[in-house]
Amino acid sequence: MADIKTDILVIGAGSGGLSVASGAAQMGADVVLLEGHEMGGDCLNFGCVPSKALIASAKAAYGQAHAAPYGVDNVAPSVDYAAAKDHVHDVIATIAPHDSQERFEGLGVKVIRDYGQFISPTEVKAGETTIRARRIVIATGSSPFVPPIPGLEDVPFETNETLFDLREKPEHLLVIGGGPIGMEMAQAHLRLGCKVTVIEGDKALGKDDPEAAAVVLDHLRNEGLEIIEGAAAAQVRGEAGAIEVETKDGRVFKGSHLLMAVGRKPNIDRLNLDAAGIKTTKAGITVDAALKTSNSKVYAIGDVAGGLQFTHVAGFHAGIVIRSAVLGLPAKASTAHLPWTTYTDPELAQVGLTEAQARKEHGAKLEVARAEYDGNDRAIAARKTTGFVKVMVVGGRPVGATIVGAQAGELIHTWALALANNLKMKHISAMVAPYPTLGEINKRAAGAYFTPRLFESDGVKRVVRLVQRWLP
Annotated binding site for FAD: 52, 116, 140-142, 303
Separation between Cα atoms, residue 340 and residue 310, nearest integer Å: 8
Dihedral sign for Cα 306, 308, 313, 317, please: negative
Cα torsion through 267, 270, 275, 280, rounded to 10: 20
Strands (E), 307-395: 339-342, 347-352, 366-372, 388-394
The runs of H, that is alpha helices, within 35-153 are: 41-45, 48-65, 81-95, 101-106
Q: How many CA atoms lie within 13 A of 355 on its CB side?
A: 14
List the binding residues.
Answer: 52, 116, 140-142, 177-184, 200, 263, 303
Q: Which of 432, 208, 176 is nearest to 340 (CA)?
A: 208
Taking CA atoms, 329 is separated from 319, 321, 450, in Å, by 12, 10, 41
List the binding residues for NAD(+).
Answer: 177-184, 200, 263
Phi, psi (deg, nearest 5) at residue 362 = -115, -10
Nearest-5° Cα angle at 45, 40 to 48:
95
Q: How many helices (H) and strands (E) does the chain have?
A: 14, 23
